[in-house]
Amino acid sequence: MTRAAPTTVLIAGAGIAGLTAALAFAQRGFSVAVFERAASLEEAGAGLQLSPNATRILDRLGVLPALAATAVAPSRVVLRRGSDLREIGRVPLGEAGLRRWGAPYLTAHRADLQQALLGQVHKHPGIALGLATPVTGLDLSGGKAAMVMDDGKRDGLLIVGADGVWSPLRHQVDPAASRAFSGHAAFRSTVTADSRAGQFLAGAGERGSVTAFLHPAFHLVAYPVRAGDSFNLAGFMASREPSTGDHDGLAGRFADALARTALRPLAQAVPAWSVWPLHTVSSSRWTLPEGAALIGDAAHAMTPFAAQGAAMAIEDAERLAAAVVARPDDLAAALAAWEDERRARVRRVARRGALNRLAWHAAGPVALARDLLLTLRRQESFAADLDWLYGYDAEAGSMRVHASEPS
């Protein structure tokens, strides 16, 4: 396909994937139109850990300064047993992580990230954002890519489906794609640092940390957000697929599980847990050669046990724009190369998430062996184990690790 000048990239969805893609394409000279179903971009979701592979891209896109006002740079990840709060492992972040991976590890509220992305989008004259504009499909007939909305069609160079787990575009790219409940639910809450729950966490030494409390029945991750004024709590437990009517019962089951451990004071102090069924998406096709690509959760929603769903969406977006620019005269080849590269990376990340879940929910002798292994492990070795993930430089499409840190 020959292209004389950049033409419009059409994006469905103004979540993390869609807004990052808008910036990545606009920065490379494309005009971009984003269509979002919601009438306003409100506070959806809760906290996010943003690892260096993601923040490196956000920095390049000019998003970090706005995010810095509210994001927190934790000094470490600490693994603790939920049964007695004993520390069994730690990964140094903060300055050590910055030196090692070349970009910060941050924790932030999802709404703060979305606002920071949106701020950059509004500054860019090449990006048009349409709210309350649901995309209903795509049309690739006649060799042209078009996005279909209630009120008509819009032609473009490329259609990007960044429309999340429930993506209506996905079935047009891969009719055999499936979405399934993962067998786990998430339980989320945000507590202020000066609340009883916040004081319990600070008292356990967790003010500047990402802490994962591990237990056979659940794991709970706590970290500071909103400039340290609040803690985000995200717990995970095996569950049947919750229907809306089940939420109170499930939240009660989760609080009961916490209350049977050393986290009892936290269980008593957290006023409410919101329940999030965790879905995964499996699709054997993320692109169509005529000009369509699915990115982020629309393509490959995964369980959050490696805390990488948003990071993969950000990487997808950056690498897609880079791939299209690298093959300006052959969009089909660009999309095929992008999909090959991204599949390998996303598969590896999903495997890491599955491994984390097994290790963190281990019971009996397996948990004892895990604790022994982790306790004996040097911090340097924990960090080195994450180099392939956090050291990834999406601009170069390769890994970069800056320094090895003494433990």
Which residues contribute to the site for ligand FAD (CB under 6 A)?
12-18, 35-38, 45, 48-49, 134-135, 162-164, 168, 186, 188, 234, 276, 278, 296-298, 304, 307-311, 313
Contact 246, 208 (CB under 8 A): no
Q: What Rg do the C-alpha atoms of the chain give, in angstroms?
A: 21
Q: How far apart are CA 190 and CA 185, in angstroms?
A: 17
Q: 94 vs 353, which CB is nearer to ligand FAD?
A: 353
Q: 133 vs 367, which CB is nearer to ligand FAD?
A: 133
CB of 51 to ligand FAD, least distance (A): 7
Q: How far apart are CA 266 and CA 264, in angstroms?
A: 5
Sign of CA dihedral 135, 168, 345, 70: positive
Tokens at 22, concatenated: 């808008």
CB of 181 to ligand FAD, least distance (A): 12
Q: How far apart are CA 348 and CA 388, in angstroms?
A: 10
Q: Is 295 in a helix, a strand, or coil?
A: coil
For 127-159, the DSSP string reads EEEESS--EEEEE-GGG-EEEEETTEEEEESEE
CB of 402 to ligand FAD, least distance (A): 22
Contact 394, 319 (CB under 8 A): yes
Q: Is 220 in a helix, a strand, or coil?
A: strand
Q: 104 vs 304, which CB is nearer to ligand FAD?
A: 304
CB of 136 to ligand FAD, least distance (A): 7
CB of 328 to ligand FAD, least distance (A): 26
CB of 299 to ligand FAD, least distance (A): 8
CB of 338 to ligand FAD, least distance (A): 16
Q: 299 vs 367, which CB is nearer to ligand FAD?
A: 299
Q: 73 vs 332, which CB is nearer to ligand FAD?
A: 73
Q: 93 vs 367, which CB is nearer to ligand FAD?
A: 93
Sign of CA dihedral 160, 166, 172, 173: positive
Q: 188 vs 377, which CB is nearer to ligand FAD?
A: 188
Tokens at 26, concatenated: 């606009």
Identify the CA nearest to 119 among candidates 242, 209, 222, 14. 14
